[in-house]
Each structure stands twice: as structure tokens, then as C-alpha cells.
Structure 1
Amino acid sequence: MIKKKGFSLIVVLVFMLVLSACSSEEPASGEKEKKDGKLSGTLTVWVHPYVASDLKDKQSAVFEKMAADFNKEHPDVKVKFEEIPWANREQKILTALAADQGPDVFYLIPDMMGQFAEKGVLTPLTDLLGDFDKEDFPESSLEAVTYKEELYGLPILHEVIANVYNTKILEEIGGSKDKLPTTWKEYEALAEKAVEKGYFARSYEGGNTLNATLYPLIWQAGGDIIDKDGKVVINSEKSVKAFETLNEWYKNGWIPKDSINTIDHFASFLEGKIFSTGATGLTLSTLKNREFTDYVLGPPLKGEKQLTFGTTGMFVVPSNSKNKEAAAQLIKYMTNTENSTAFNELTKYIPPRESASSLYDNDPEMKLMTDWVKYTKPGVIHPVARDILPKVQAEVQAMMEGKKSPKEAADAAANAIQTEIDKQ
């Protein structure tokens, strides 16, 4: 995680660079990148390891196919894919952009987009993309890549966090694979029986991102973190209900004692110690690879609302790219139906395009995941979304340690968020 002072300095440097570029007397990048009216030059694309190491060659092949498709229409543009690790990616991207050495296209998620866009680090793509089959993307997909009515990327993947249940425990407590819980009330009835039998009810990796831990509980309770008008509501009555529920789970032994700061309970689920855990497409793939069959997939739960976290991965163009028009056109090829299908089939994410929605028709579990995309929220879309994560997490941990009540933790989290907003 980047330190606040260093992060602010990097953002300031990037912003100054953008302003300098805009005021330069140099010709516009669109003039530089065309040769005889055709797109030309070199595009560098930064991607991540979306698959396990043993599938690295297959991932490379998917990206090479994207470039090949693009070059059929734009043969004078050379496309280079470079892989960077997930760790510290924000710092690496911003540092590179500040030094004018960054990529022309890179991968981003919604809770980073607002921050990057607000500081002028991203290029609005609304005009550059032209016709891009807009009607093929569900409204929720486009909302996740839009900030202040400007489109900043095109989506390549969806993710859904659902639930998996240990079927041996389910059977032991009198549950049924044919009648899995859909509401908090139904879930809690089964969870209580599991705890009585000596199991933990569910995983809670408190050291993990809030998108996978606290935030879904807040949304299910009918609350939010920052509303659409920019008002901090994490300490509203409904949001506090999520804090109270989590605190009760911990005090009553429903989640493991290390839930305050652990980042991995999956091993405990495989060992049969935990009744349920969160699951994505990658989780399901891992279970199959390990030949673990004692599980069943269940839907996101409903408190007041049936919601869960599910990021929307997108490709974007930085504002200091020298080849913006070509970069925007490349993104269209990378995210078209054929390439989106190939990418998601390999990575076990869900294609954002309606025309690719049949990908998992022969995979019942992933078909369910695809159906549940409608229950997902992409996180907090606001310039402070990433900055507030450690601050809110610290208040949740203080609550679980017994140092603060749920309401006190929620109020402190709200104050921390407002402080970050006031700095903008």
C-alpha cells in the first residue's frame, strides 16, 4: 500500500505533467500518430497475471490474438503487451506516468477510476471510441466505467462474489443442496446449527479488501458507504446494522478468532472447519483443480437488498499517451465479443457483453454466476475510494477487538472518509 505523502506527491507530479502537456505548443497526439491518414506507431499495454503461472502461455496467446485482430485493420501499429504484478500496481502506474514512461493502455477497476480520472490521469474515451456496440453492454457495466458522465474505459470482465457451502456440514445440520439460503434469516438459521456442531459459520478475512468483507454486508443491509450525491453514509442506521451483525458474529464465535486481520480462510474451508465462504469463478476453478467436491454454490444473500461485490475490469488510456486514438481503437478490439469470450473462458471471469453471455451455457455453476451479475456493485466510485480502505478497516478492527462499539466504529469511519473528501 502506497504511503499517503508519497502517493500525493506522485499524483501532483502526474497532474502537473498533464497540464504541461495540454499547454505545450507541440502538435496534438492525433497528428503524430497518423501516417497517410492511417494509425501508426507503437502501443504499450500493461496487463496483470490474471491466471495461475501454469496458464501463463495461454494468457499470452489470448493477448497476442487481440493484437493480431487489431493489426488486420491497423497494420502500421505495433502492439506490445507487458505484464506487471498486482502488488503495488497503483504506485507503479502513477510513478511511470509521472516520468512519462507509462503504457498507452492499462487495466483498471472502478474504485481506482474515480481517483485517476479526477486527477486528470485518464483520457476520456467518449469521443475517441466512436461506435463501439454500446447496446451490447448492460447498463451496469457502462456505469462501472463512467465517471462524471464521461466514459473512461471499456469492460473486459465481471466478477461475482457468491457463496459456497460445505455439503457434508450442510447435510449434518439438516440442510439441503436443493434449498440453499437466499436471505440473512435463512442463512443464520443454518449457521447457528453449524456453530452448535462445533464448526465456524463462515469465513471473514478481515485483512482482505473491504470490497470482499464489510461492504457487501453494508449493501445487503440497505446501506452504503458514499451515496451517489457524494454524502458519507457509512454511519447511517442501515449501514451500522452491518457493523452490528459482523460484531455479533465475531463475539458469538461464528467466524474464526483471527478474522480481525487474516487474509486467508480458504484452507480452513477445505479442511471442513468452516460451513461457508465467499466464492468467485476462480474459487470454483480452484476447488475443481484440487478435486474438492464437497461443496455447493449458493447465491448472494439478501438482507434488505440482495447485493454483493463484483468488480468490473476495464482497459483505459492514460492522458499522457502519445497515441490516444490508436489506443482507444485497440481497446475496442481487446473487448469485442470474440476476444472477451476467449479472455473470460481462460480466466473464469464473466464477459460483460450480452453477445458473450452464452459462454457458460454448458457450465451450470458459472451460468449461475453469470445470472447473478445483476446483484453486483463494483465498489465505491469516488476519488477517495482507495484512500479510505485502510482507515475504515482500522475502525472495523478496533470494533472487533472490543475497543469501540459498532456505532462508534461507523462514526469514526465516517469522519475518516469525510476528512479524505475535504482534502480533495
Structure 2
Amino acid sequence: MKRKTWKTVGIFALLGFMLSWVVSSCSPSPSKSSQAGSGTAEVEFWTMQLQPQFTDYFNQLIAQFEQANPGTKVRWVDVPWADMQSKILTAVSANTAPDVVNLNPDFAAQLAGRNAWLELDDRLSATDKEQYLPKIWQANTLNDKSFGIPWYLSTSIAIYNKQIMEQAGISKPPATYAELAQAARQIKDKTGKYAFFATFVPEDSGEVLQSFVQMGAQLVDDQGKAAFNTPEGKAVFQYWTDLYKQDLLPKEALTQGHRRGIELYQSGQTALLSTGPQFLKTIGTNAPAIAEVSAAAPQITGTTGKKSVAVMNLVIPRKTDQPDAALKFALFVTNDQNQLAFAKAANVLPSTVASLKDGYFTEVPGSAPAIDQARAISAKQMQDAEVLIPNQKDIKELQKIVYDNLQAAMLGEKSVDQAVADAAAEWDQR
């Protein structure tokens, strides 16, 4: 894939794609306290890698806010993805954190557990909270306390190759993991190709970990202990192990990440791709012939019917000296009008109820291009979508433990029962 294309879609890599966040040594403006003393409040606002693509959008947004709030200035700092986590950790520790910062709930929750963020429940009305999708708001809570305000979202869909499906005699794309296994066998037998690619690289996508929840298994209990050493959890281990041993998954699933899945789909070697709808544009650029025969379908799920979503939020450091101005700005950035505008500009989804009801998402004709159909499908999924991976400290360590033991079962180094038991024991004894 061309380097420029990857930069363009970097904002979207959500699915596994929004789990790496870090922070820089940017410290507040030296004049901040003096400005506050002179009656001018400055709100320092950090985002993650939104420049230069959205520079005009944010400059206009900030100008509108400042015009509506005389005496308040916003200083925007855009931080590279690879730097955000380290920078915010440094800034919070040094008491030099910005007033509003763009993170994801997974990482933000870790710092929420250290009392780093301003608690919002006493500062927001019920009406304020009701603007946002309930399940998405819940993703920004820890121990029943709200620590963040939802912003933009991404939910994966199934992009499928109609030509390969027809060659395999499949009339409609699979909707569940059970149907996916059946389709995988049929596609392999009829075409010699793989149905799809899933990665078991611990540092990459969390899609397989999410599949546990979708198939009815619980990952951790209320005490944070392993809860997947159950018939449901073993069934998920068995599902992925059987697919691999039956040669229904590419061998590189154990060594390569989600990007390999995109490459395989774009080269016509797989029939389905689980990813964000914005990747249809990427496929159109990199593989026009494949894009021509591609269509969109809802995200594949399990017996629970649950759909996964990746969330970006805005949090306010507890030690900000501008709590009221910071909260007002965060609510302004995430209101219905501004979320809808950003969703259109960035090809993401908004997190407010009203903006998702806009005709841009709901009034898409059946004859519309695949990318527009994908937008409508992903927006409709938001009624059921939720963050499936719990706000649990060291959740990436759980993913590594589960994936490592899954690999052992897939390679025949352990039985499924032993792999599940070992994974649960390792997590509980970490």
C-alpha cells in the first residue's frame, strides 16, 4: 500500500485499530496563568494525528468557539499517534497536562483508575448525557463514574468479494461466526481460496479477543479474574483451532497482522475482509478491479448479536486550572452539529443520537456506491454496538496471553482444554 494512502487512513485504523495511544513533552503555554489572571482563559487542546488533513476544520471550529465565548482562547496541539501515550503520561505526572485531550477509553480508563481525570457526573446534566449513545457513554465510565465525553467512532463491517462468493455458490455473505466457518469450507473447496484472514499476533488487532464476547464467553469477572475457562470460552478456542487445523485460515495468521488481511483481500486471495467502511476507498485506489466486485455487509458476530465499536473520547485532566472552559469546549466539539460535520469530513461515525439520525446515514438508496452503503450499514450497527473489551488494567496483556495459548492449540502443542486452563491461570497469576 502506498505510504500516502496509509497516512490518510491512519485516523481510522480502529479495530483493533484504536488501541495504541501515547503523549509528548508539550507543556502548557508559559503565558497561560498570566492570561487567566488578566481575565482571559486559555484552553489547551490535544488531538491525535489530525493534522494536516483536518487543520482547516479545527481552525474554523476553534474560531467559532472563541467567537461564541469571548475571553476564552483555545490552543490546539496535534500529537503523533506514536507519541500520545508517553506524552500524556509525562504531562500528567508533571502537572503540565493539557485542559482537553483526545484519547480512547481503553487507555483513558487506565489513568482514570489513577484519578487523573476530572469526574464529570456532578458537572453534567442528564440532558447533556442523553445526547450521546448510551452504550458509548458507558465506555467512558469506570466504577460507575464518568471520566470522558464520547467523540467519533468506527465500527467494522464485512467487505466481501461478490465474484468469489458466486464462484463458491454462496448467495449471501455470512452473518455469524458459525456461518463464516461453513462459508470458509465451501469457498476453499470450490475456489481453493481462503474465506478470510484473522490475526493472532498479540500486539495487533483485538478482533479475535472480541469474538469471545460475541460468541457468548466472558473474558474477566467483576474482580478482574479470568472468566473464560468455561464451556463457552473453550468453544471459542475450539472454533479458531479447528479453522486453522483444517487449513481454512492462512498460515500467516500466526505471524502477520491486520495489514496482511487487507493485502490478501486486495489481491483477490480472500473473499471477506473485516475492517472499517472507509477502507473501501483505499481498496478503490489500490485495487480498482477488486473494488468493482466488492460490496458491504454487517459486521460478523456470534450468538449474542453484539457488534464491536472503537471509540475516541475527550477527557479533562483533574488538575486543569480551567475546568469550566475546558468542559464547555469539550461539549462544543462533541455536539450534534460539530460531530456530524466531522463525521462527513473524516468518514467516521458520530456518537450523538441526533447526528446518527441525519439523512447522510439513513437515506442511502440501494443503488448508491458500495462506500455509501457501507456508511449506512455501519451507522445502523451503532444501535447494537458497544466496546466489547472491558476497561481492564493490562487488557493488552490478557490479549497476549489468550493469543499465545490459542497459537499453541492451533499448532497442536497443547490441547484446547490445556490452552484455556493455562491462559486463565497465567492471567490470574500475572
**TM-score class, shorter:** 0.7 to 0.9
Q: Judging changes above 3 Å, is the alpha-carbon distance between structure 1 residues 413 and 327 closer, same or farther for their aligned structure 2 residues? A: farther
Unpaired runs of 5+ residues, structure 2, are 1-21, 23-32, 365-371
* CA–CA distance in structure 2, aligned partners of residues 390 and 410 of structure 1: 13
- Which residue number corresponds to residue 390 of structure 2? 380
2:266 to 270, 275, 278: 270
For each residue in 1:67-119, what CA deviation from the matched residue of structure 2 results, as whole angstroms up to 9, or x when unmatched? 22321232222212222222253223212221233322112222223311111
For each residue in 1:342-380, what CA deviation from the matched residue of structure 2 results, as whole angstroms up to 9, or x when unmatched? 221122221111111123234322111111123333122
**1:416 aligned counterpart, secondary structure:** helix
* CA–CA distance in structure 2, aligned partners of residues 47 and 319 of structure 1: 18
Q: Bigger CA drift: 125-134 or 237-246?
A: 125-134
Matched to 2:220, the amino acid is I
**1:82 aligned counterpart, secondary structure:** strand
Matched, 1:128 2:123: yes
- Which residue number corresponds to residue 223 of structure 1? 217
Tell me, yes or no, if the aligned pair for 1:107 and 1:316 is still in contact at 8 Å.
yes
Matched to 1:68, the amino acid is A
Query: How far is the alpha carbon of 1:223 from its aligned partner?
Result: 0.7
Matched, 1:164 2:159: yes
* CA–CA distance in structure 1, aligned partners of residues 425 and 79 of structure 2: 35
* CA–CA distance in structure 2, aligned partners of residues 49 and 43 of structure 1: 19
Matched, 1:397 2:407: yes
- Which residue number corresponds to residue 226 of structure 2? 232
Query: How far is the alpha carbon of 1:35 from its aligned partner?
Result: 6.3
2:423 to 410, 413, 421: 413
Query: How far is the alpha carbon of 1:216 from its aligned partner?
Result: 2.6
For each residue in 1:115-161, what CA deviation from the matched residue of structure 2 results, as whole angstroms up to 9, or x when unmatched? 11111122112223457632222211211111122111111112212
Matches within 5 A, 1:177-216: 179-196=172-189, 197-207=191-201, 212-216=206-210
Tell me, yes or no, if the aligned pair for 1:218 and 1:241 is still in contact at 8 Å.
no
- Which residue number corresponds to residue 13 of structure 1? none
* CA–CA distance in structure 2, aligned partners of residues 383 and 355 of structure 1: 33
Q: Bigger CA drift: 261-270 or 317-326?
A: 317-326
* CA–CA distance in structure 1, aligned partners of residues 94 and 37 of structure 2: 27
Query: How far is the alpha carbon of 1:66 from its aligned partner?
Result: 2.6
- Which residue number corresponds to residue 340 of structure 1? 339
* CA–CA distance in structure 2, aligned partners of residues 385 and 204 of structure 1: 19
- Which residue number corresponds to residue 307 of structure 1? 306
Q: Judging changes above 3 Å, is the alpha-carbon distance between structure 1 residues 374 and 209 closer, same or farther for their aligned structure 2 residues? A: farther
Matches within 5 A, 1:2-401: 40-49=40-49, 56-87=51-82, 89-130=84-125, 133-176=128-171, 179-196=172-189, 197-207=191-201, 212-228=206-222, 230-263=224-257, 264=259, 265-290=261-286, 291=288, 292-357=291-356, 358=358, 359-361=360-362, 362=364, 363-378=372-387, 379-401=389-411
Unpaired runs of 5+ residues, structure 1, are 1-9, 11-30, 51-55
Query: How far is the alpha carbon of 1:33 from its aligned partner?
Result: 8.8
Matched to 1:220, the amino acid is Q
TM normalised by structure 2 equals 0.81
Tell me, yes or no, if the aligned pair for 1:155 and 1:335 is still in contact at 8 Å.
yes
Q: Bigger CA drift: 348-357 or 276-285?
A: 276-285
Q: Bigger CA drift: 352-361 or 225-234?
A: 225-234
Q: Judging changes above 3 Å, is the alpha-carbon distance between structure 1 residues 46 and 169 closer, same or farther for their aligned structure 2 residues? A: same
Tell me, yes or no, if the aligned pair for 1:33 and 1:323 is still in contact at 8 Å.
no
Q: CA RMSD in A?
A: 2.6
How many matched pairs?
382
Query: How far is the alpha carbon of 1:388 from its aligned partner?
Result: 3.0
For each residue in 1:7-66, what CA deviation from the matched residue of structure 2 results, as whole angstroms up to 9, or x when unmatched? xxx9xxxxxxxxxxxxxxxxxxxx999669x7x42222221125xxxxx44411222233
* CA–CA distance in structure 2, aligned partners of residues 166 and 220 of structure 1: 24
Q: Judging changes above 3 Å, is the alpha-carbon distance between structure 1 residues 185 and 131 closer, same or farther for their aligned structure 2 residues? A: closer
TM normalised by structure 1 equals 0.82
Q: Judging changes above 3 Å, is the alpha-carbon distance between structure 1 residues 227 and 60 closer, same or farther for their aligned structure 2 residues? A: farther
* CA–CA distance in structure 2, aligned partners of residues 407 and 67 of structure 1: 56
- Which residue number corresponds to residue 6 of structure 1? none
Query: How far is the alpha carbon of 1:254 from its aligned partner?
Result: 1.2
